[in-house]
Structure 1
Amino acid sequence: MKNKHIPSLLSTILVSMPLLAACDVGRELARSAMDIVRNPQTDVGKQVLGSSSYKRSKLKNLEFTCVKEQFPSLPQEADQLYRYALYHDFKNRWLPKPGVLDRYLPYYRIAAANGHWQANLTLQEILLKSKDINIETRERRGEGIYWNEKLMKILPASAHYWWSLYIDVGYGPKHGADDSLIYLRKAADLGNAKAQSEVAELLMKIQDDSSHTFRLGLTNKMRTCAANQDRPDGMAGRMMAATFDNAKDYGTAVNFYHQAIKAGETSSAYVLSRVFTFNDPQSDFSNWGVGEDQERSRRYYQINNFLSKSGHLKPELNVHDLDEIVPLPPAKLPSWDGKIAIQRFVEGPAPAKPSDELVRRLAQQAGLDPNTGLPK
Structure 2
Amino acid sequence: MKKNIRKKGIAFIGTQAPILVALIALFFLIPFFMNILARNMSLKTFDPHRNEFICNYERNVEPSVDDEADIWFREGLAATSFDLWPDDRDFAKAASLWNKAAERKHWQAMLNLASLLIEGKGINRDRERAVQLVEEVMKIGIPRAYDFMGTLHMNGTGVKQDATRAYAFWSLAADMGSSDAQAYLGDKLNATHDDPARSIWGNKEIAYKLLQCGYSQENGNAAFLLGHELSFHEQYERALHVLHDAVKFGSEDSANKLFVEFDDGRKLVNKFLDKDRAERYAAIADMLRLNPDLRLPNLDKVLPLPPAILPYWDGDKQTLIDGAKPVKTASLDDIKPSPASLRQGRAHIPDGLVLPDEPQGGHLIQHLHTDAIISGFWLAQLAKPYTPKQVAWNAAQVPMYYALGESFTPPEDITKDDGVLRFHYLGTPIPKSLAERHVPDWRVPQGVLREVPVPSRELRSSGLLPAPATGIWHGSIDPAHPLSKVFNLWTRQAYVEEGQSFPDPRERGLDISPKDIQWQWLDQTNLPLPSGRKDIIIRNFSPAVSTN
- Residue pair 2:265, 2:274 contacting (<8 A) in 1 also: no
Report the number of matched residues.
Answer: 282
1:125 paired residue number: 115
- Structure with the larger RCO, 1 or 2 (CA within 8 Å, 6+ apart): 1
Distance in 1, Cα, partners of 2:186 & 2:153: 20
Q: 1:345 to 1:95 in 2, by over 3 A?
A: closer
Shift of 1:243: 1.8
Structure-to-structure mapping, 1:1-376, within 5 angstroms? 27-30=40-43, 61-70=50-59, 71-72=62-63, 75-90=66-81, 94-96=85-87, 100-128=90-118, 130-136=119-125, 140-172=126-158, 174=160, 176-203=162-189, 204=191, 206-207=194-195, 215-230=203-218, 232=219, 234-272=220-258, 283-284=265-266, 288=270, 300=281, 302-308=283-289, 310=290, 313-314=291-292, 317-319=293-295, 321-322=297-298, 337-338=322-323, 340=325, 344-346=444-446
- Residue pair 2:237, 2:268 contacting (<8 A) in 1 also: no
Q: 1:289 to 1:73 in 2, by over 3 A?
A: farther
Distance in 1, Cα, partners of 2:300 & 2:100: 32
Distance in 2, Cα, partners of 1:174 & 1:59: 23
Distance in 2, Cα, partners of 1:101 & 1:188: 30
Distance in 2, Cα, partners of 1:284 & 1:121: 42
- Residue pair 1:164, 1:184 contacting (<8 A) in 2 also: yes
Distance in 1, Cα, partners of 2:106 & 2:308: 34
Shift of 1:285: 5.5
Distance in 2, Cα, partners of 1:251 & 1:272: 13
Q: 1:270 to 1:344 in 2, by over 3 A?
A: farther
Q: 1:320 to 1:120 in 2, by over 3 A?
A: farther
Q: 1:293 to 1:344 in 2, by over 3 A?
A: farther
Q: 1:225 to 1:347 in 2, by over 3 A?
A: closer
List per-residue Cα deviations over 1:225-248 (Å, max 9, x = no partner).
Answer: 222214x1x333222212222333
Deviates more, 1:75-84 or 1:321-330: 321-330
Shift of 1:184: 1.1
The structure where helix makes up a greater share of residues is 1
The one-letter amino acid paired with 1:82 is F
Q: 1:241 to 1:78 in 2, by over 3 A?
A: same
Distance in 1, Cα, partners of 2:142 & 2:272: 40
Runs of 4+ displaced beyond 6 Å: 289-294, 296-299, 326-336
- Residue pair 1:274, 1:285 contacting (<8 A) in 2 also: no
- Residue pair 2:297, 2:324 contacting (<8 A) in 1 also: no
Q: 1:283 to 1:95 in 2, by over 3 A?
A: same
Which one has a bigger Cα radius of gyration? 2
Q: 1:121 to 1:213 in 2, by over 3 A?
A: closer
Shift of 1:266: 1.2
Distance in 2, Cα, partners of 1:213 & 1:170: 23
- Residue pair 2:38, 2:135 contacting (<8 A) in 1 also: no
Shift of 1:183: 0.8
Distance in 1, Cα, partners of 2:45 & 2:239: 39
Unmatched runs of 5 consecutive residues or more in structure 2: 1-36, 313-319, 327-441, 450-548
Root mean square deviation of aligned Cα: 4.4
The one-letter amino acid paired with 2:81 is F
Shift of 1:253: 0.8
Q: 1:91 to 1:195 in 2, by over 3 A?
A: closer
Shift of 1:164: 0.9
Q: 1:293 to 1:154 in 2, by over 3 A?
A: farther
Q: 1:92 to 1:109 in 2, by over 3 A?
A: farther
- Residue pair 2:299, 2:325 contacting (<8 A) in 1 also: no
Distance in 2, Cα, partners of 1:152 & 1:161: 10
Identity over aligned pairs, percent: 23
Shift of 1:250: 1.9
Task: State TM-score, norm by structure 2.
Answer: 0.42
Distance in 1, Cα, partners of 2:153 & 2:73: 27
Shift of 1:116: 3.5
Distance in 2, Cα, partners of 1:72 & 1:328: 36
List per-residue Cα deviations over 1:294-325 (Å, max 9, x = no partner).
Answer: 7x8786555334213x1xx45xx231645685
| Other structure's SS at 1:318 match | coil
Q: 1:116 to 1:328 in 2, by over 3 A?
A: farther
- Residue pair 2:111, 2:145 contacting (<8 A) in 1 also: no
Distance in 2, Cα, partners of 1:286 & 1:195: 27
Distance in 2, Cα, partners of 1:92 & 1:303: 14
The one-letter amino acid paired with 2:205 is G
Distance in 1, Cα, partners of 2:240 & 2:69: 37
The one-letter amino acid paired with 1:340 is K
Shift of 1:291: 12
Q: 1:134 to 1:286 in 2, by over 3 A?
A: closer
Distance in 1, Cα, partners of 2:105 & 2:309: 38
The one-letter amino acid paired with 1:256 is V
The one-letter amino acid paired with 2:129 is E
Shift of 1:327: 9.2
Unmatched runs of 5 consecutive residues or more in structure 1: 1-23, 35-57, 350-376
| Other structure's SS at 2:195 match | coil
Q: 1:114 to 1:289 in 2, by over 3 A?
A: farther
Q: 1:322 to 1:287 in 2, by over 3 A?
A: closer
Task: State TM-score, norm by structure 1.
Answer: 0.59
